[in-house]
Chain A
Amino acid sequence: MTAYEGANGTARPAMPRVGMQFDRADRVYPPEHCLVGRYEVEGVQHESVRALERSVLWYTEGKGEEDLSVHHFERLDHEPLRAGDFPSGTITVRLPASPLSYEGVIVKIRWCVRIRLFFASGRDFVSEHVFDLGDIAPAPGTVERLT
């Protein structure tokens, strides 16, 4: 990871920033439609990036253990690495028909684009950009808890 001089004179790692611009301003995509996202990595020296992974996936949140499923995965780790390869790029994916994004009471389904940077130092940095697949209404609330 790149380093910069901190206020007290010590070297501190710089925090990378990954900007993501979706082709839909509201980030709501119908099922089986294309998602186009343009990302830009800032705050890192390009030669320090060893590889970059970009993926489109869903995961669950809530009371239960997290379940995760990757719909699209790409790893860019060309050798030799060219500095201009990774700082920005476009991800184009045809989304599946399901599962749709859902805001339940104890089960939530989130879709996101993840950009993961791997640095020559061995560290990695992940940036997550959430979008909605479908427009399912949130669950109204708890009607009854079953035992």
Chain B
Amino acid sequence: MRLPRFFGKKRGHRRTGSQAWGSFGEAVFYAALVMAGVCFAGLWITGSLGVGSDEAGLPWARWWLWLSSLLIPGALLAFGIAGLVRIVRGWGKSEERRAAAEGLANLIESMATPADAGRRFPGVPTCEDLVNSPGTILRYRLPIESPESWTLVGLGLFAVLWNAVLMVLAVGAGIDLLGGRVEWLLLAVIVPFLAVGVAGVVVFVRRLFLTTAVGTTQLEISAHPLLPGNSYDVLLAQSGSGTFQSLALTLEVEETASFRQGTDTRTERVIVWRELVKEWTHLQITPGVRFETHVTITIPDGAMHSFASEHNAVRWRVVVAGQPDRWPAFTRVFPLVVFPAAGPLHSGALPLAATGGVRR
């Protein structure tokens, strides 16, 4: 019996570490956790940690301290044992065998959930969240996935948290002042904190005003999920006021890939196909009367379906991009789910690149 090689070839020219040595390293790490947990537990049982008796000599009087002291050895033992069990269960098993075992567990889990449409299409995301809102004119109202909304939430959170810290510092300084003491260092810290806090609130209010001033965008669709080769009626409704230099509705396919770079997890997103469905220019929107229009979107025959796995995804989406006269440009994203086409192979299927609306 030979020792496993430290380096092994994975695919192509990439050379990766040996899986056996990797598992061995992990096992050593988890064994160390278990040992540390056992040591802590031993110290706790023998009373070497000084837990269990108070100064008055009453045993276990500080029950909360006794209970909390269990957390450290308990957590170490739980993490260590769970890790060791996982390694022992996977030891000597091929990548496929481990994945098959995981797949079986996922299958049992999915069978426990009611009517999962995605079960017939493994790797295709379900569209339950996209069909639970009925439209006013068409069948479904699509949920919005606006990057601007997340920016607004982020700015709001920053303003609240920063000013909460500022309040704590200000109360401390105020108490000192009332007591007749002046903490110059604390005051010197508060001044720049106050400036940043005020700026945070101003930026948040400005962004909130701009977001609400442009008006809401609503999209409804005649059917969902979508299928390649089919066309769907879409209702676009834009509220607001004033003139829009342009308002465009595009259909896009986005690829997303997450990967580790050092200790960071990064995500790269690329638009691989885009079709301009329709663009309106010099659009005048009257306050209280929203702009409504019907368009037709077509999923090209032979197009890739929606796909989602742990680190990779292919997503379809409708994007509404507007350029109001008085306000900054905005982009609003409405996700779609495209299922694989049923039936035989798409012989002579049109490559996406051959369709008319592709812009590179």
Contact = CB atoms under 8 A, between A and B. Distances in A.
Interface in B310-360: 310-314, 339-340, 342, 344-347, 349-353, 358-360
Given A70-B99, A104-B314, A63 B122 contact: no
B99 A98 contact: no
Best-surrounded residue of B99, B270, B271 (most CB of chain A within 10 A): B270
A136 B303 contact: yes
Given A134-B345, A140-B351, A146-B269, A65 B258 contact: yes
B148 to A, nearest CB: 14
Contacts of B181: none
B94 A139 contact: no
A99 B310 contact: no
B257 A139 contact: no
A80 interface: no
B76 to A, nearest CB: 29
Interface stretch (A2-10, A84-92, A116-124): A116-124
Contacts of A106: 255, 257, 268, 270
A129 to B, nearest CB: 13
Contact of A143 (B97, B273, B342): B273
Interface in B261-313: 268-274, 302-305, 307, 309-313
A28 B259 CA distance: 30
Interface in A6-33: 28, 30-31
Interface string A127-147: 000000011111111111111
Given A64-B258, A116-B94, A139 B121 contact: no
A64 B258 CA distance: 5
B269 A145 contact: yes
B346 A135 contact: yes
A135 B349 contact: yes
Contact of B96 (A30, A55, A123, A146): A55
Contacts of B359: 143
A18 to B, nearest CB: 15
A139 B351 CA distance: 8
Nearest to B267: A64
Contacts of B95: 68
Binding site secondary structure of chain A: loop
Interface in B78-120: 94-97, 99-100, 103, 120
Given A98-B121, A122-B2, A139-B304, A146 B312 contact: no
A111 B360 CA distance: 29
Interface residues of A, number: 52
A142 B121 contact: no
B13 interface: no
Contact of B312 (A57, A64, A70, A137): A64
A73 B360 contact: no
A121 B97 contact: no
A32 to B, nearest CB: 9
A102 B307 contact: yes
A98 B122 contact: yes
B24 to A, nearest CB: 14
A113 B246 CA distance: 51
B273 A122 contact: no
A107 B310 CA distance: 12
B349 A144 contact: no
B254 interface: yes
Contacts of B307: 98-99, 102, 107, 109
A134 B350 contact: no
B229 interface: no
Contacts of A31: 340
A137 B96 contact: no
B222 interface: no
A74 to B, nearest CB: 9
A140 B271 contact: no
Given A97-B121, A123-B2, 4 more contacts: A71-B103, A73-B97, A98-B340, A137-B351
Nearest first, the 10 A-B pairs at minimum CB distance are: A64-B257, A140-B353, A99-B123, A73-B100, A67-B309, A137-B351, A63-B257, A146-B269, A139-B272, A65-B311
Interface of B: 1-2, 4, 94-97, 99-100, 103, 120-124, 252-260, 268-274, 302-305, 307, 309-314, 339-340, 342, 344-347, 349-353, 358-360
7 contacts: A65-B258, A70-B99, A98-B340, A106-B270, A107-B256, A137-B352, A143-B358
